[in-house]
Amino acid sequence: VEFDNIFLDYSRQQASPDTINKLYKLADEAHLKQKIDRMYNGDHINITENRSVLHVALRAPRNSAICSDGKNVVPDVWNVLDKIKDFSERVRNGSWVGATGKELKDVIAVGIGGSFLGPLFVHTALQTDPEASKNARGRELRFLANVDPIDAARNISGLNPETTLVVVVSKTFTTAETMLNARTLREWISSALGVSAVAKHMVAVSTNLPLVEKFGIDPNNAFAFWDWVGGRNSVCSAVGVLPLSLQYGFAVVEKFLQGAHSIDQHFSSAPFEKNIPVLLGLLSVWNVSFLGYPARAILPYSQALEKLAPHIQQVSMESNGKGVSIDGLPLPFESGEIDFGEPGTNGQHSFYQLIHQGRVIPCDFIGVVKSQQPVYLKGEVVNNHDELMSNFFAQPDALAYGKTPEQLRKENVSEHLIPHKTFTGNRPSLSILLPTLDAYRIGQLLAIYEHRVAVQGFVWGINSFDQWGVELGKSLATQVRKQLHASRVNGEPVEEGFNFSTKTLLTRYLKATSDVPADPSTLLPKI
């Protein structure tokens, strides 16, 4: 199947034409087309949170109309995009400066989950694109996600508060990890430049303007997004567009949005047999629920896509890691898949052994026709990109056809080694070939995977747009946080409310860190 010079080959799936036709019928039974239309129409398809699911509106052209609760949201989207364009250009051209008058060349984006993985994927993919890298010359973009103080230490290492702008990304401005990291960077800035410097060096992506102002950030420097944007689908909102525009310029990021929009149109209008996200989603349902393969390997033969798999892990596993239907009934079949991956050829020297001769794991091979950074060496048999692509073309065949004992005997392989060198074959994969990897194509690739995951959820009959599974651990962590505070400040022993295992671990931890002061003075990382 081909769309806009993107080529999908799924001939190496364990599926015949008859299988594919049955999957189309399954899609009809699951009302897939109607569910896609309901998403685009702004219906509240996220029923547990009573919300629309409209990340497609984030990359819609200015003159589009996409409604939520009867209101066209596209003008609101473009108001924020225009504000980002204006602000990022002022920072980049030096008309917005820091508290000491120096240009802000370095940006730290503070956020976790969808506020981090998607923007990091796009940033990593753009770093070596010729146009983007030229625009980013002399600038640096970093992402602070983990509440581990080591992550904060790494992020501020080598940076000067005078030239650093911090973007705090939290819809509610209450996310525990993000806000502790934000307070850490606020202290880093104010201890060097004074409290008044915070307004010049920190901006927010949030909808909670009172808390933004209380934090010390000017509400005029808060960039909005909406409750119809899920975190894992938010890279096309201010969550991603603001830090990426500061690094690469708004014009580059706009091309990324246009690429995503092209797939949005394709997904909503192409017939199933020519619809790339639909085909990918149906094949995943086939592999997971019918063939019983629980995992999927995402294998981009491009180092620029090294952060694709971690992002899709969240997009897929947080969306479809559900055990009940949208009506709350236990599912009578397996849904969701375990996603992992690594760029080729690195992965070949890591986990491909298992894929070839161990468990059957369906693979997505992603190749790019033209490298972002070609290298040619005189006298070499092939250039560097051709060497990479030789493996991209060979690996799917190795999985599909394998190697038989008869072939090995013809090669005079010792009989005792034949079982070890036999490859069973018939291991499914698909190949996606992109013409280039510029901002537009990165947007297309992102949208293909976003919509593929939605297709799977629609066919499984689950809600792919909530994430209640992340809540329980958070609430239990609150209990532990209270206990740590009581033990540190008041010397209280670990209470009986914890089970024996947790109580033992906590007591051991507190004993080993008894030198931590009860009321410490501020200490920031030193690297």
Q: Show which residues are catalytic.
A: 318, 349, 474
DSSP sequence for 155-212: HHTT--GGGEEEEEE-SSS--HHHHHHHHHHHHHHHHHH-GGGHHHHEEEE-S-HHHH
d(CA 276, CA 496): 55
**CB half-sphere exposure, 347, CA atoms < 13 A:** 27
CB 443 within 8 A of CB 258: yes
CB 410 within 8 A of CB 417: no
d(CA 119, CA 307): 10
Who's near 452: CB < 8 A, 6+ residues apart?
277, 280, 281, 284
Three-state SS letters, 126-161: HCCCHHHHHHCCCCEEEEECCCCHHHHHHHHCCCCH
CB 246 within 8 A of CB 141: yes
d(CA 200, CA 217): 8
Tokens of 312: 């899709």
Tokens of 514: 């008894």
DSSP sequence for 347-358: GGGTTHHHHHHS
The 10 Å CB-count burial string (b at 16+, else e) for 157-195 is eebebbbbbbbbbbbebebebbbebbebbbebbbebbee
Establish whether the linkage from the previous residue to 48 is cis, with ω within 30° of 0.
no
Cα→Cα distances 182→211, 372, 394, Å: 13, 35, 47
Beta pairing partners, 107: 141, 165
What 8-state DSSP symbol labels residue 213?
A: H
Alpha helices in 270-371 (DSSP H): 276-285, 308-320, 352-357
Tokens of 191: 């201890």
